Amino acid sequence: MAALALREAGYRVRAATVKLWPNDDQRSCCSPEAVARARDTAHAMGAPHFSVNDEARFATDVVAPFVASYLAGETPNPCVECNPGRLARLVELADRFGAAWVATGHYARVVRVAGEPRIARGRDRAKDQSYMLWRVPPETLERLLLPLGELTKPEVRERARGAALPPADQPDSQEVCFAPGDHREFLAARGAPAQAGEIVDREGRVLGHHGGCWRFTVGQRRGLAISAAQPLYVLAIEASRGRVVVGPGAALESTVVELRDLVDRGLGEGDGDGLEVQLRYQADAVGVARLERLSGARARVELRTSFRGVAPGQSAVFYRDDVVVGGGIIAAGTARRSPGSHGCDKVTAQSRGRT
């Protein structure tokens, strides 16, 4: 639909599929069936279709960090890592064609702030994908068109049906493209060790045992194989000690978030001053009470209201008036210190963003 909208606006359009991973699973965006659907869709609107192999870069820049993050006890978001490289690859292809622009079907917008390109939320807030694009650099945004940013998903589907495009009623994808289904099977196949460890409560009492920390994600409730008087959730994964910490759901609430790999595109510092932060894909943004820069590319964010679901490895994306002004990778979430306290328990919660 992005290609059709541009063609109807007078652009000359070529279509391209970036093949990222060798996968025969029909749920994967890189399966032969998926590439054939893309080709058939392009041909249905009279556009030539090209396939670009980017598997080597993807394995190094996206898949390897995904595996390492889980082994370190984090919950990574590979889509955030993928988009900058994938779009840069398409810009290279556009240069070979002598094309001025690259377009995708993301539900987001490119706007200008003080003359600089920025990602902004799409009109369809239920499908907004600006969160997934926060790491795309300005030099790529200068070449990027997002024709669906002003449309809702139902409007796009209706227009696709009217144009008789093959995937008009194709279900939304919610899988990791290279590991559809259970990501633990993928990790096991990539050599994740079956290393026994303890499941403990917040006081360190042993409640059970597990066969590998990477089999768990923070916030997980099912599959713990332990019994208790109240529901227990994974609060933290101490990969270096081989321990999984569990506790009550109330312990998942966080009011302070620590970040690494901070990117600043107009964040400011101190009082939040209209700043919001989104802490997982499709979650509501929460107000920022204070942003404190730490050494290196680290920061500490104090939230105006508590958030249930802060997960190390996920992205924290900052917005001001729906425009992305920065982001970082979550290192930890904690409860706000009260006067006279000596610290607080580190608590985290599950979040697995998908596109």
**Catalytic amino acids?**
82, 177
Quick one: tokens of 238?
């101490």
291-302 burial, b at 16+ Cβ within 10 Å, e below that, comes to beeeeeebbbbe
What are the tokens at 76? 């990574």
Contact yes or no for 147/103 (Cβ under 8 A):
yes
User: Whose CA is closest to 51, among 29, 34, 35?
Assistant: 35
Spatial contact of 76 and 65, defined as CB atoms under 8 Å apart: yes
What are 279's two structure tokens? 């802490």
Distance CA 288, CA 280 (A): 15
Cα separation, 60 vs 50, in Å, equals: 23
Cα distance between residue 318 and residue 315, in whole Å: 10
199: tokens are 């499941």
CA distance 167 to 44: 11
| Strands, E assignment, 22-145 | 49-53, 102-103, 108-113, 116-121, 144-145
Residue tagged 């680290």 (tokens) = 298
The answer to whether the CB of 199 falls within 8 A of the CB of 226 is yes
Nearest to 319 by CA among 301, 335, 336: 301
Q: What angle do CA 235, 241, 246 make, to 5 degrees?
A: 20
